[in-house]
Amino acid sequence: MKGDFNKLINSEKPVLVDFYAEWCGPCKMQAPILKEVAGQVNGKARIIKVDVDKNQNLANKYQIKGVPTLILFKNGAVKWRQSGLVDKAQLTKIIEENTD
């Protein structure tokens, strides 16, 4: 996944990455919020999920200490990052602020 991940986050289109774990309760609550956000931003950003247990190298690289952790990348740079549950309004606002 590493090569594909680097290609994804180096996009001009913002990429919101949800670092999550299957066993994580708040992660399960975040998933439907992300689906709603994806529908609302209508292709202005890409939203992907990364399982920290299956992708430990990526989790270590981005110093993921807790899940869920959401990171917004654009052109390979971290534009925003937050751990814990994030609501739809805040996520939509962050994405809108980072689209051209």
Where do the domains of the chain lie?
5-97
Clarify whether 27 is annotated catalytic: yes
Among the listed residues 27, 37, 41, 91, the single catalytic one is 27
pTM: 0.95
Average pLDDT, the chain: 95
Q: Which long-range contacts (CB under 8 A, 24 or more apart) does 84-90 make?
A: 84/26, 85/26, 85/29, 85/30, 85/33, 86/30, 86/33, 87/33, 88/33, 88/36, 88/37, 88/40
Domain 5-97 has CATH 3.30.420.40: no
Confidence of residue 2 (pLDDT cuts 50, 70, 90): low
Q: What is the pLDDT of residues 11-51, one digit of tens each?
A: 999 999 999 999 999 999 999 999 999 999 988 999 999 99
Clarify whether 17 is annotated catalytic: no
